[in-house]
Amino acid sequence: MSDIFSTSTSFADLGLRSEVLQGIEDQGFEHPTMIQAKLIPLAIEGKDIIGQSKTGTGKTASFSLPALHLIDTDAPFACLCLVPTRELAIQVARECRELGRHTGLKVLPVYGGQSINTQAEKLKQKPQIIIGTPGRVMDMNQRGLLPYNKIKLAILDEVDRMLDIGFRDDIRKILGAMKQQHQTVFVSATISPEIERLAKKYMHNPVDLSTTEASSLTVSQVDQSCVGVQEWDKRRLLHHVLGIEKPDLALVFCRMKVTVDKVAKSLQNKKIDAVTLHANMNQGARNRVMDKLRKRDVRVVVASDLAARGIDVDDITHVINYDVPEDPEVYVHRIGRTARKGRDGKAIMFVTPDQSELLLNIEKLTNVEIVESRFDEFKPGPEPE
């Protein structure tokens, strides 16, 4: 635990105003985490910051608290925080709202899949803090409902994802349109040198709280292992592993949405309480799954990498990598859904014989040897015709 929390520091030491401190107390936070203790005072000073810290170490509060401290109620649209998924927009806005409940600040999530009109009405009430996904933010900006020229603090959560190919253009458009002086705070659990270089183009003399130390990427409480398996045996193996491990709450990650559906169906056929989460589902269905997860009203969630980042649900006991991710950083984010806030968790990865190089790349990035788990009672089947 001591490598997560800064136990010799209190939140008051960080210079936060009393309304914000009250919100922190309501949440029951006793001490800041390491990243919070480092990042918050610098952010309050007005510095641009790149912050890196392991999954589950409180990055959301590390940027939300200084935002709540710095922004006044008479400064509409003063803070824009961009996140890669709708689920994350909802979650970050919720935490920011809770922490800011005594500040009188309005926090609004703005994301695709929810009625434009509903969000437009709320934007007309001029919230001070917007947590949004890039597409919907740009849409609202074009409608004249979300001006960029009022932004004083721009935050990128999961910055490496926000600046990779998929979002890079959108971010360039949004950040590039902010001609006024503003502060930037970018955070993630993984930041490659290339992303760091790109990020710095949008920053002014940033303080770099990122670390290149590979050993600090994964949380030590995650017990990581892999199992060799043929592609055609994976579904049976999953069923077997769930039977042996008996997870209270497991996230099963697959690379493709079709696999997510097939895997969930095969579990359901075997009477296992499994639900799916991927981007082809409508937002209502996605929100219902997130609610179930939060209420522990489900045992197994089969998900695409949509759920790999940021999702903060306590007590996910197991992460099963049904498919090895192509990008080793995705592995770090996936397994970071377990072992949060100093708890324990298990990560098991299925590896087919042609994937040893991918496994090696993951081991190199994380600097952890992923040991082989043995499920001796599992009998591999013959290759199908």
Among 23, 51, 58, 247, binds ligand ADP (CB under 6 A): 58
Q: Tokens representing 4?
A: 């997560």
Q: How many CA atoms lie within 13 A of 276 on its CB side?
A: 22
Window of 58-66, 192-200, 263-271, 324-332 that interacts with ligand ADP by CB under 6 A:
58-66
Q: 210 and 52 in contact (C-beta within 8 Å)?
A: yes
- Closest separation in Å from C-beta 156 to ligand ADP: 13
Is 137 an interacting residue with respect to ligand ADP (CB under 6 A)?
A: no
Nearest residue to ligand ADP on Cβ basis = 58
Task: Say if residues 267 and 274 touch (Cβ distance below 8 Å).
Answer: yes
Question: Contacting ligand ADP (CB under 6 A), which of 235, 299, 340, 346?
Answer: 340
Q: Which of 178, 317, 179 is nearest to 246 (CA)?
A: 317
Q: Give the residue with the Cβ less far from ligand ADP, 1 or 165.
A: 1
Binding segment (CB under 6 A) for ligand ADP, from list 28-36, 218-226, 316-324, 350-358: 28-36
> What is d(CA 203, CA 163) in angstroms, rounded to the nearest whole number?
13
In Å, what is the CA distance from 80 to each residue of 137, 231, 319?
9, 44, 32
Least separation in angstroms between residue 91's CB and ligand ADP is: 7
Confirm or reject binding of residue 341 to ligand ADP (CB under 6 A).
yes
57 binds ligand ADP (CB under 6 A): yes
Is residue 60 at the binding interface for ligand ADP, with CB under 6 A as the rule?
Answer: yes
Task: Choose among 159, 141, 138, 158: nearest CA to 202.
Answer: 159
Number of H helices, E strands in the chain: 14, 14
Binding status of residue 158 toward ligand ADP by CB under 6 A: no
Q: What is the dihedral of CA 360, 361, 362, 364, to 10 degrees?
A: 90
As a whole number of angstroms, the distance between CA 280 and CA 324 comes to 21
Backbone angles phi, psi at 260, to 5 degrees: -55, -50
| Identified binder of ligand ADP from the candidate list 164, 312, 323, 329, rule CB under 6 A | 312
Using the rule CB under 6 A, give the single segment among 32-40, 44-52, 205-213, 376-384 that binds ligand ADP.
Answer: 32-40
- Shortest reach from residue 1's CB to ligand ADP, in Å: 11
Complex with ligand ADP: residue 119 or 184, whichever CB lies closer: 184
Contacting residues for 170 by C-beta, under 8 A, at least 6 apart = 134, 135, 138
- CB of residue 61 to ligand ADP, shortest distance in Å: 4
Name the residue nearer to ligand ADP (CB basis): 56 or 66.
56
Nearer to ligand ADP, 47 or 59 (CB): 59
Q: Which stretch binds ligand ADP (CB under 6 A): 25-33, 211-219, 349-357, 365-373?
A: 25-33
Question: 274 or 313, CB closer to ligand ADP?
Answer: 313
In the chain, where does DSSP find H-type helix? 18-27, 34-44, 59-70, 86-99, 116-124, 134-142, 159-162, 165-176, 193-200, 234-245, 257-269, 283-294, 328-335, 356-366
When the beta carbons of 19 and 98 are compared against ligand ADP, the nearer one is 98
Residue among 188 and 224 whose Cβ is closer to ligand ADP? 188
* C-alpha span between 376 and 205 (Å, rounded): 55
Task: Point out which residues bind ligand ADP (CB under 6 A).
Answer: 29, 32-33, 36, 53, 55-61, 95, 312, 340-341
